[in-house]
Amino acid sequence: MAHPFETLTPDLVLDAVESIGFLSDARILALNSYENRVYQVGIEDSEPLIAKFYRPQRWTNEAILEEHQFTFELANIDIPVVAPLIHNGETLHEHAGFRFTLFPRRGGRAPEPGNLDQLYRLGQLLGRMHAVGGTKPFEHREALAVQNFGHASLKTLLEGNFIPKSLLPAYESVARDLLKRVEDVYAATPHQNIRMHGDCHPGNMMCRDEMFHIVDLDDCRMGPAVQDIWMMLAGDRQECLGQLSELMDGYNEFHDFDPRELALIEPLRALRLMHYSAWLARRWDDPAFPHSFPWFGTERYWGDQVLALREQLAALNEEPLKLF
């Protein structure tokens, strides 16, 4: 059977945007997105809009609207975030079986790796976001946990015939050892789940006119605050310690960070490694994935994964980063 996104033609995209009252100028540009489909659509006598078409059967309507509500909570207190457009009183629309949302176009550039001045300002922005995120929980969006990001990921990979037979025993062995260690660290580390971005890599914290703004809250969920912090760090241990200090100086101006959560950085990195491989496996029926990730399934990829998980297991036995 054809994948649903194969029917999402340029004409359908334009029809969807026009179905809610906008008049397009027929210009359309596909943007870099795999989980969903995102397009820049030209609008007559106005600025282009960004149309995001949600992957079918991923989130419920309630979960999508909960993401929108969180974005508006941030925007309403002037936290710079790209919020969905409200049109005819709605943010979530439907056309030809696809759910979609429109956003204003906001360009920008990603932070410079290791730039301490930028990290201080990013820390301020993350602290402000988490101060809002900690006021109440999500009700319809799942939490980041060892079970869904770790054990469920391993189950997907083992049952899906994605790992070459020659590497399957090695991958399964190190993955199970890693998950056991992750569980132990989680159990021993006090932490509180809050509403957080969930995929806070530097590409989702864009800078324009010397101001950072938050984009793409599609993966927002409940989880420890440190999940949105560790992906801002780059380099060796000493470099990360200096970067972490700058981030926390800015962060703690707006929200109190529990330093005990730093022990979760390497467990969270381990879960992200496994979840990424499982994400590719779960999306393999989408034609965009074999085209864009042709190395998935090769012995070289899985050999590198075995090595990465072994290195991650070693990292879990090292002393966590600490604030001074």
Q: Which residue ranges are tagged as binding site for Mg(2+)?
A: 204, 216
Residue 101 parent element (H or E): strand 98-104
Closest CA to 216 of 70, 22, 43: 70
Selection from 237, 233, 318, 224 nearest residue 271 by Cα: 224
Distance of alpha carbon 201 from alpha carbon 5, whole angstroms: 26
Nearest to 144 by CA among 217, 222, 69: 222
Strands 37-43 and 24-30: antiparallel
Please identify which of the residues 11, 209, 216, 304 carries the catalytic annotation: 216
Active site (annotated) includes residue 216? yes
Residue 25 known to be catalytic: no
Dihedral class, residue 85 (left if φ above 0, else alpha if ψ from -120 to 50, else beta): beta
Pairing relation of β-strands 211-214 and 93-95? unpaired
Query: What are the structure tokens assigned to 198, written together?
Result: 């969930």
Residue 274 tokens read as 């496994």
Please, what's the b/e burial string for 49-88 (b: 16 or more CB within 10 A of its CB; e: otherwise)? bbbbbbbeeebeeebbbbbbebbebbeeeebbbbbbeeee
287 Cβ neighbours under 8 A, 6+ residues apart: 3, 5, 6
Which residues have C-beta within 8 Å of that of residue 175, sequence separation ≥ 6? 154, 157, 274, 309
Q: How far apart (Å, rounded) are the C-alpha atoms in residues 140 and 221?
A: 9
Catalytic residue among 199, 218, 228, 286: 199
Beta bridge partners of 40: 29, 50
What residue numbers does the annotated binding site cover? 204, 216
Q: Which residues are annotated as catalytic?
A: 199, 216
